[in-house]
Amino acid sequence: MNASGILGATPEHIVRLASYGLAAVVTKTFTEKPREGYSPPIILKLRNCGYINAVGLANPGAELLPQVVRKGKELGLVTIVSVGGSSIDEFVKVSTVAIDSGADMLELNLGCPHTKGYGLDIGSDPLNVYEVVKAVSSLSSVPVVAKLGLSDNYIKSSGKALEGGARALTLINTVKAMIIDVYSAKPVLSNVFGGMSGPPIHPIAVKVIYDVYEEYEPEIVGVGGVVDWVSAAELILAGAKALQVGSALSTKPKETIDSILEGLEIWVKELGLTRIIDLVGLAHKK
């Protein structure tokens, strides 16, 4: 599936994502009211690889959610709504709209590192994670996935999300980073810092997924620097049962997805196996 934040804010975006050959689509993070986000510059391509962005959770607001979910369902795709909020009440309100719209799953954004009062500001506190997940999980039988970012408490936050009723964890979100212009001597992003994505964070994602799987063996959606079948396979071996692709969709998205799937299929056969699920968490086997 795509990582939240890569398109997914309008029905037209869903059509475009569907053309990439994904098994499921994840919407952009929706909040109760529309958010304009930060002023440009909001995204930078790193010199070597990857990106740093500080979009500020820009989205059209929950009012547009029914149209977005409807388009995903029309296309026969599992449709996962990314839900954002600065309070339990906002998480509940947006989740209710998503559920009423027919969302197949909810992914709670508890990991965005660059929007004050949202994401990681909530997800780095295990008790906050528990309370948000518990409140949303109690709304319906629609599965809830908690998306967490890198923090000192990621293992405890993961445990509290599961305790609160999360059926799975999405690990990880972008990682706090910044770039300074050496001539103006000023940070380049309007928000000063942002979230780094792409290959630079891949080893971090592998470590977080490995640690959380070692502790709880939960259902994990792995995300972070998946650009080819090898990077995808690493997350599977660490414990991920599903995958999201983000930055790699910025260029030749259909070719990237096809290449990852083809490579994984060959990998499984070369190992003499028939099911990729037999490789989930294999790096933990003694």
Q: How confident is the model at residue 54 (pLDDT cuts 50, 70, 90)?
A: confident
Cα separation, 267 vs 258, in Å, equals: 14
Q: Tell me the pLDDT of the chain averaged across its residues.
A: 93
Give yes or no for residue 286 having a pLDDT over 70. Answer: no
- Per-residue pLDDT at 55: 85
Residue 156 has pLDDT above 70, yes or no: yes
Do the domain assignments include residue 4?
no
Across the range 109-136, mean pLDDT stands at 85
pLDDT per position as a tens digit, 219-232: 999 999 999 999 99
pLDDT, residue 69, reads: 96
Domain that residue 42 falls in: 11-281
Positions marked catalytic: 112
* 66-69 own/partner pairs: CB under 8 Å, 24+ apart: 66/97, 66/100, 66/101, 67/10, 67/11, 68/8, 68/9, 68/10, 68/11, 68/13, 68/14, 68/27, 68/101, 69/27, 69/98, 69/101, 69/102, 69/103
Domain membership flag for residue 40: yes
- Establish if 263 belongs to a structural domain: yes
- The pLDDT assigned to 229 comes to 97
Within 8 A by CB and 6+ apart from 284, the residues are 210, 213, 214, 239
User: Which two tokens mark 206?
Assistant: 């592998």
Residue 271 in domain: yes
Q: Is the residue at 3 inside a domain?
A: no
The pLDDT score that the predictor gives to residue 20 is 95
Q: Could you tell me the pLDDT band of residue 122, with boundaries at 50, 70 and 90?
A: confident
Confidence of residue 53 (pLDDT cuts 50, 70, 90): confident
Confidence bin at 41 (pLDDT 50/70/90): confident
- The answer to whether residue 226 is domain-embedded is yes
The pLDDT of residue 148 is above 90:
yes
Supply the CATH number for residue 93's domain: 3.20.20.70
Structure confidence at residue 114 (pLDDT): 67
Q: In the predicted model, is pLDDT for residue 178 greater than 70?
A: yes
Q: What is the pLDDT of residue 239?
A: 98
- Is pLDDT at 79 greater than 90 in this prediction? yes
Domain-located, residue 286: no
The helix (run of H) or strand (run of E) holding residue 234 is helix 229-238
Q: Is residue 124 part of a domain?
A: yes
Q: Structural domain tally of the chain?
A: 1
